[in-house]
Structure 1
């Protein structure tokens, strides 16, 4: 290998290394490449007499020399083409959830890579999925919303990137930032006093692209969801949850199937007898809407009342869940008639104790045994499994002793406590105290719904948390929001719940 071949080989090594790494030549590599090129140009061509520079050969055709691509230009062009190939193949594969590494390493061009991707999808049956990218405006709104929540003292588990920089912004500063990002003349907004700025912001009410009201909406909705989930209600511990798609009152289209005949012996060469199951339509269910309206006043904006965005919506979210909690306990406390025309707790339902007293070892055993004697609508025995004891405030510590003591309290013979570690969960609620007032406060035993159902809470399309919607309210100087929720309470079966009338709690 002569010197010319050695130079060209080294230049090719430099170009190949850069192309494989998807980059330009480094400064050091570029200097080496240029030095080699200058040396190459001084070497005589084959058949050229010694002493005649290779560049002299180009002088034979100056026009051709001016149009000839230099090796440095060729290197840059090759690197750019390789980068484009890698980028195109990567984008193609990522859009279908595939890895581009194999196609890039094997030197596929775009056409071959596209065919390989199609072949792969055909073999695996992988569906084509569309990806929606988050633009800068959405990122800004998420960061600003999380920043407002953090400033108001609400914990944000996964704050959006950049939220910290908005944490110290006032509402006025945030409004001006929104204007600047939308291309408005920032100087005009800086010259406005806070009252004028608020009036201008109110004119953005119906603009779907306006950032400031959208950020307020997002902050309020996040606050409502987070605070709603933190409300310490207890109804959800023992009720079942359902979903309805509309507000029409209609019977549950699920029929209870039962009343099957016992299996009978089939003698040799005998005939298996036909049996027809009996059915019973379950009780009806219906949703209703409950809501309130609140507004962010002009004074709140001028005073930079950032707590309004979380405190006021949080109060309404709390009230929404407590309203539902109270409605559930009112259902079992008020003991209204159910679908069969009889009160929920009635002697005909065999789910109410005759003598009212506070929870004790004896009274708990009695109510458990009463529930376990229940029969299904077709007269067959069912296996009821008591799971929760619902009591007003005042019995929790007595129950802890009753359910976790190995001996019967007060027994002279150290009798074994049959309720020791009995698998019943205590649900204590002050709602029963409030409903009872100075009267006897009842307590209840509820079965595992897999054995026998009791009360169910239905939501519209399964939406539990309240919905928040910005509205325009005549006569209100400020932004206004509706907060509402859709739910319904129904007694699914009386066999899964029993009542003791209780006693007056001192």
Structure 2
């Protein structure tokens, strides 16, 4: 009888887990578990802080817990795991990948092996600089004859293909490169993971401590030395002396006491001391080279770089672009400067004042106002300003080719615009479909009605090409934007509102513009490619009736009965879009367990309880306080919001001109909004 076992687990524990202890006790599972899954206020948090598939808890239990959450808007995961069972992990990856919620994953310390694969299922992966991710080939073992061994090798190859597929969907890296990374057992820092596409966002390093315990350290050869040393056997037993070890004897293994595992406090202390010595050495090496601040930060973030390697990097940087004096015996080279230290320091200070960064205690420009920063950007580059008045000096800081001042202010304003965009309270993103267009030409979208049932292909017969309908809906981009100016007067007056409040409000306005376009589609009811309005009785998506169980159920049934030719589409409404005036009524109708007016009869249950999520939008009140709408799930053919090349945030441009006494700044966004198919939406007049 052959026996097979397969894991994709890293045998590593590392110094990267939050110091706070965690109790993972998911509902209806044993006291010990490798994950917890909790929902609150329509969102859910998943924590994976142990070996995947451990404690006898399988993907089946995970699936049950995930389904029990019901409808959620966001699924946020926090991962610190050495990996685990490959088949359980792939099942979990597929469950998360197919979940309709917006999915965000934080790598708190380690996402190794199968844990890294699960992270690929999330829309956004966020990693601190000192977190790590590890990828490697699947491994396992089987008992049996030679044929069994060959079959098992083939199985391992197929599993590796599945893993590469998951990584490729996230990173876009070629398959050959991914196979190479897996074969090399590649350990990636947070920065490296972002550069290769395994993660989306890099954050500041977190204070971490070891918390994982794995017995498979011996199976991995490329683990960073810092991790190996941290989990090396500890010989400092209290009361022991430094006497030589006795000669080996034939004492049975059972009589040899097992080495004492280090305590959590010992591990944390060892990790902190080791990392402090490394960082102190790097800081000392860079003490006389402040212009290489970026290289220093890179060295500190990479746990494999010590002071010796940092010095080699300094020498290499100093040698860039130089020519040996031996080759030019009569030449004299004189160079004095501070790299871009001034520009970086000014940028950091202005970012801090604008609320986009933390204060740097050792920044020499912390006490400067905007006018003084403009002067510093010129003086420290050797640009004379003795004969200039304040208006001329600030203008020169904007325009001189050696000055970073204008670009710094542009970066700060851009941060403020994005902050306004990201914090704007808009509802359209929760239910519309996000798309992408490569130019401003009119594009056509294939709707739900362009495909009927697939045709039977008889044995030996050829497949036939489908014929698309002529009713594809059109969508095209348009540009929306405004100008504001960062004037010389604002700099002289130290007016930060030109860098914070105004750009932030323009970010609000940019997102609000897209919201206006989306809800105008609902309220203005444009014509579709068939010449009929989006909501039309011939489309089977227009009804009447005030908000009630009966009216909502009628709309639900109308969407479920929509067809493409003779094929039933079975569209399920996921959202109720209503004016604010109806928000309370809609929630009462949908969330109540019984029908209004029939509470006394416990046998009459609410047939539409929790069938859809209510989204109230004030723009709908302006058109009608009674009309309401149903929409299919996000990503279905409802209304598409397309952005140029997928750039779904506004961006700004700057130009020096005669019409503005300073710098004109343009905020713009290229977007197109259009209905895709009448079957994905339904309207009731509310009357």
Bucket of the pairwise TM-score, normalised by the shorter protein: 0.5 to 0.7
Counterparts of 2:443 and 2:558, CA distance in 1: 32
Render the CA deviation track for 1:282-340: whole Å, top value 9, x for unaligned: 32221011111111234323322112211111121111111111111011110011222
Counterparts of 2:463 and 2:435, CA distance in 1: 35
Counterparts of 1:168 and 1:361, CA distance in 2: 64
How far does residue 183 in structure 1 lie from its aligned partner after superposition? 2.6
The question of 1:396 aligning with 2:583 is answered: yes
Structure showing the higher helix proportion among its residues: 1
- The aligned counterpart of 1:421 is 610
Change (3 A) 1:145 1:180: same
Render the CA deviation track for 1:408-457: whole Å, top value 9, x for unaligned: 121142311112232x11111111112x2xx554211000156x411001
- The aligned counterpart of 1:144 is 349
The question of 1:489 aligning with 2:673 is answered: yes
Change (3 A) 1:399 1:251: closer
- Which of 355, 361, 379 lines up with 1:180 in the alignment? 379
Render the CA deviation track for 1:51-95: whole Å, top value 9, x for unaligned: xxxxxxxxxxxxxxxxxxxxxxxxxxxxxxxx9xxxxxxx9xx9x
The question of 1:291 aligning with 2:481 is answered: yes
Change (3 A) 1:138 1:253: farther
Task: Give 3-state SS (helix, strand or coil) of 2:496's partner.
Answer: coil
Task: Give 3-state SS (helix, strand or coil) of 1:260's partner.
Answer: coil
Counterparts of 1:368 and 1:215, CA distance in 2: 53
- Which of 403, 412, 415 lines up with 1:210 in the alignment? 403
For structure 1, which segment, 480-489 or 158-167, has the greater mean C-alpha deviation from structure 2 after superposition? Answer: 158-167
Counterparts of 1:208 and 1:430, CA distance in 2: 48
Counterparts of 1:255 and 1:334, CA distance in 2: 22
The question of 1:346 aligning with 2:536 is answered: yes
- The aligned counterpart of 1:313 is 503
How far does residue 140 in structure 1 lie from its aligned partner after superposition? 2.5
Counterparts of 2:548 and 2:366, CA distance in 1: 54
- The aligned counterpart of 1:443 is 628
Counterparts of 1:163 and 1:247, CA distance in 2: 49
Counterparts of 1:216 and 1:251, CA distance in 2: 40
Paired residues of 1:449 and 1:496 also in contact (CA < 8 A): no
Counterparts of 1:254 and 1:98, CA distance in 2: 52
- The aligned counterpart of 2:648 is 464
Counterparts of 1:336 and 1:458, CA distance in 2: 18
Change (3 A) 1:351 1:208: farther
Change (3 A) 1:381 1:255: closer
Counterparts of 1:140 and 1:160, CA distance in 2: 11
- The aligned counterpart of 1:40 is none
Counterparts of 2:561 and 2:679, CA distance in 1: 10
Paired residues of 1:440 and 1:501 also in contact (CA < 8 A): no
- Which of 272, 277, 283 lines up with 2:466 in the alignment? 277
Paired residues of 1:242 and 1:457 also in contact (CA < 8 A): yes
Whichever of the two has the greater Rg, that structure is 1
Change (3 A) 1:289 1:483: same
Counterparts of 2:643 and 2:597, CA distance in 1: 48
Counterparts of 1:441 and 1:163, CA distance in 2: 60
- The aligned counterpart of 1:234 is 427
- Which of 451, 472, 480 lines up with 2:664 in the alignment? 480
Q: How does 1:236-255 map to 2 (within 5 A)?
A: 236-252=429-445
Change (3 A) 1:361 1:212: same
Q: How does 1:106-125 map to 2 (within 5 A)?
A: none
Task: Give 3-state SS (helix, strand or coil) of 1:246's partner.
Answer: coil
Render the CA deviation track for 1:3-38: whole Å, top value 9, x for unaligned: xxxxxxxxxxxxxxxxxxxxxxxxxxxxxxxxxxxx
Paired residues of 2:518 and 2:673 also in contact (CA < 8 A): yes
CA RMSD of aligned residues (A): 3.3
- The aligned counterpart of 1:111 is none
Counterparts of 2:424 and 2:532, CA distance in 1: 34
How far does residue 171 in structure 1 lie from its aligned partner after superposition? 1.1
Render the CA deviation track for 1:195-235: whole Å, top value 9, x for unaligned: x2232222344444312212211110111111111000111
Q: Which runs of 5+ in 1 are unaligned?
A: 1-82, 84-90, 105-133, 151-155
- The aligned counterpart of 1:369 is 557
More contact order relative to length (CA 8 Å, sep ≥ 6): 1
Paired residues of 1:443 and 1:501 also in contact (CA < 8 A): yes
Render the CA deviation track for 1:132-151: whole Å, top value 9, x for unaligned: xx95355325313312313x
Counterparts of 2:430 and 2:673, CA distance in 1: 15
Counterparts of 2:584 and 2:367, CA distance in 1: 47
Counterparts of 1:417 and 1:146, CA distance in 2: 54
For structure 1, which segment, 247-256 or 166-175, has the greater mean C-alpha deviation from structure 2 after superposition? Answer: 247-256
Paired residues of 1:251 and 1:284 also in contact (CA < 8 A): yes
- The aligned counterpart of 2:251 is none
Counterparts of 1:470 and 1:208, CA distance in 2: 15
Task: Give 3-state SS (helix, strand or coil) of 2:567's partner.
Answer: coil
Paired residues of 2:390 and 2:492 also in contact (CA < 8 A): no
The question of 1:221 aligning with 2:414 is answered: yes
Counterparts of 1:100 and 1:144, CA distance in 2: 29
How far does residue 240 in structure 1 lie from its aligned partner after superposition? 0.6
TM-score by length of structure 1 reads 0.63
Task: Give 3-state SS (helix, strand or coil) of 1:476's partner.
Answer: coil
Paired residues of 1:147 and 1:163 also in contact (CA < 8 A): no
- The aligned counterpart of 1:59 is none
How far does residue 400 in structure 1 lie from its aligned partner after superposition? 2.2
- Which of 554, 562, 567 lines up with 1:380 in the alignment? 567
Paired residues of 1:257 and 1:277 also in contact (CA < 8 A): no
Change (3 A) 1:362 1:149: same
Task: Give 3-state SS (helix, strand or coil) of 1:427's partner.
Answer: strand
Q: How does 1:17-56 map to 2 (within 5 A)?
A: none
Paired residues of 2:345 and 2:363 also in contact (CA < 8 A): no
